[in-house]
Structure 1
């Protein structure tokens, strides 16, 4: 039963040793790979900024960012980083629809830095949660518009109804947009709102802490808190954060004042009160033209 003449026992021992050595070597090679796989993030959260006056140009950029997030398989949730008093009614509605489409595909959480009012608040409504700071300004659920302007001297119209809106017609247009705005607030926030439909339509603004109390917002917290909430809603324990900053564009100025903010728009060639200038706005603050502001400053 001792060693056989042909040395088979020695051969088996050598074979076992070789197998053990190979196993050790293989585990050493595969261990870093297994570690890398274990530490890879579960997914990512995209932080998309909505900043300044809501215009067709700024909304186009945000819509593109939202589309990229929806089409990127590695993005599991979106945080809207909002600091805006609102803007054009049509642009605000387009942004709302884009956020709503994104919210149907992944969790969307909004975070208000300083201001998320009027059209900017409208755009945030599809978000599952709205985070604010105690001093944030939110609300202003309303629409404003200039009265129709008079015809220019010597103006020739192509038809009798061209630029012929009356004050009553303009008021009806604003009321239609207002009903849609208020209706969206009631649709998305009714389960949490402590305000009646009539109170919402008063278009008041609220500080962040008050907005949480009355249901216009959900939580007091930072953007990082909003990111954590979005990741949690997407089921992510370990995640990366991608930040998309808005492009810097000219043509619109945003100034702050003690009475709530002044939105400064470029003056139309036919004047702010005429038909070709921006007249239907979802914006919190006083609307003035550049020339008016410059004149006040120089005076």
Structure 2
């Protein structure tokens, strides 16, 4: 007897298969889904546990590597040695402001009170900053030197103006070949916003007491600077310059080579322009120098790197097995894992920001101009 397709029995379907219903006269198609084997599930589970354990281990290693002193400073070992023969390294980096002073003060207190710290290496990577902030750090560096322990400076890519001021008290100064240093001078900056105020149709009205009328709003960004005020500001800057020069002379002593230089300056414009001969005192003329020229002028002692500086500090302290440790303010675990936060632009429209905008800034700063 002839059999039709409908008469052919359908084979049993495995429990792990999913069969799609089909119309008569069509071949039935089954899709089989294999369940993960016990071995596969075990491998995936182990992979996840290994990943978690690896992350935890990395965090533990990072935290243990960045040891913390009793004063809350994090430190790392640059060279192993005796624990009671510490050469303490600290870096002043970036603009020298109140925050830099606060951080350095923590290190200063630790180094000043620790009997295990036998020498200090100050790593300077800074173009300078505020006059007051630079002078404060200079004072602390000088105080560390006065304890009788060697202080050696290692200059990075730039250690100019205020960066040089804080370096001056050191027993010896090392700079790299490409280091920019010097720039011994003082500037004052204040923005001129008169044109902006006219464009937006605004005006700043200032009331002054009678006796302070001439000087109280000197260098205001809202009005032109009077010749008398400009002269007064020059007197103030010259006095600060003299203080800066005394700091350098005291720190460098007979190593410093001071000389007079001559140059010509063009005064006036057009047919009335004339060249005037002037003199300047080198190296106190605000000029920036590379390491080779700075060494010739006695601004630095040697051309070398951080390793040379802390090796020399150990020699000056008479250490046989110095332990070189780099100290820095303690950060959070997150900051240690992922580094510093990315730079961002913040626009501050507070009254405090307006006050800063109006106030002249007295700076010992190399601007690259």
Gaps of 5+ in 1: 1-38, 254-264, 288-299
Alignment correspondent of 1:180: 243
Query: C-alpha separation between the residues in 2 aligned to 1:194 and 1:167?
Result: 32
Match of residue 98, structure 2, among 37, 40, 56: 56
1:214-247 Cα distance to aligned partner (Å, 9 max, x none) = 2110001110110011111111010111212357
- Equivalent residue in structure 2 for 1:244, among 306, 327, 333: 327
Asked if the contact 1:110–1:127 (Cα under 8 Å) also holds between the matched residues in 2, the reply is yes
C-alpha deviation, 1:269, in angstroms: 1.2
The counterpart of 2:177, out of the listed 134, 138, 141, is: 134
TM-score, normalised via structure 1 length: 0.70
- Of 206, 209, 216, 1:163 maps to 216
CA distance in structure 1 between the aligned counterparts of 2:82 and 2:112, rounded to whole angstroms: 21
The alignment of Structure 1 onto Structure 2 pairs a total of residues equal to 233
**CA contact under 8 A between 2:83 and 2:116: conserved in structure 1?**
no
The partner residue of 1:223 within 306, 309, 316 is: 306
The separation in 1 between residues aligned to 2:306 and 2:237, in whole angstroms, is 34
Q: Distance in 1 between matches of 2:127 and 2:91?
A: 14
Deviations along 1:75-112, one digit per CA (max 9) or x if unpaired, are: 11100011000000010111110100011111110000
Q: State the distance in 2 between where 1:222 and 1:150 align.
A: 44
* Cα distance per residue 1:103-123 (max 9 Å; x no partner): 111111000011100011001
Q: CA deviation at 1:153?
A: 1.8
Shift of 1:194: 2.4
TM-score by length of 2: 0.58
Q: 1:212 aligns with which of 266, 286, 295?
A: 295
Aligned match of 2:144: 102
Change in 2 beyond 3 A, CA 1:156/1:148: farther
C-alpha contact 1:92 1:119 (8 A) present in aligned 2: yes
> Mean alpha-carbon deviation: is it higher for 221-230 or for 238-247?
238-247
The structure with the larger Rg is 2
Worse-matched range after superposition: 133-142 or 159-168: 159-168
Report the counterpart of residue 282 of structure 1 in structure 2.
364
- Distance, in Å, in 1 between the alignment partners of 2:368 and 2:100 is 20
User: Cα 1:40–1:141, aligned 2, differ >3 Å: closer, same or farther?
Assistant: closer
- Which SS does the other structure have where 2:139 is aligned? helix
- Structure 1 contact 148–167 (Cα < 8 Å) conserved: no
Instruction: Name stretches of at least 5 consecutive residues in structure 2 with no aligned partner.
Output: 1-80, 195-202, 219-228, 261-280, 332-339
- Contact 2:169 2:250 (8 Å CA) reproduced: no
Matched, 1:67 2:88: no
Instruction: Sort the Cα spacing of 1:159 and 1:81 in 2 relative to 1 into closer, same or farther, 3 A.
Output: farther
Q: Distance in 2 between matches of 1:205 and 1:154?
A: 41
Give secondary structure in 1 for the equivalent of 2:363.
Answer: strand
Matches of 2:82 and 2:193, distance apart in 1: 64
CA shift in 2, pair 1:42/1:246, >3 Å? closer
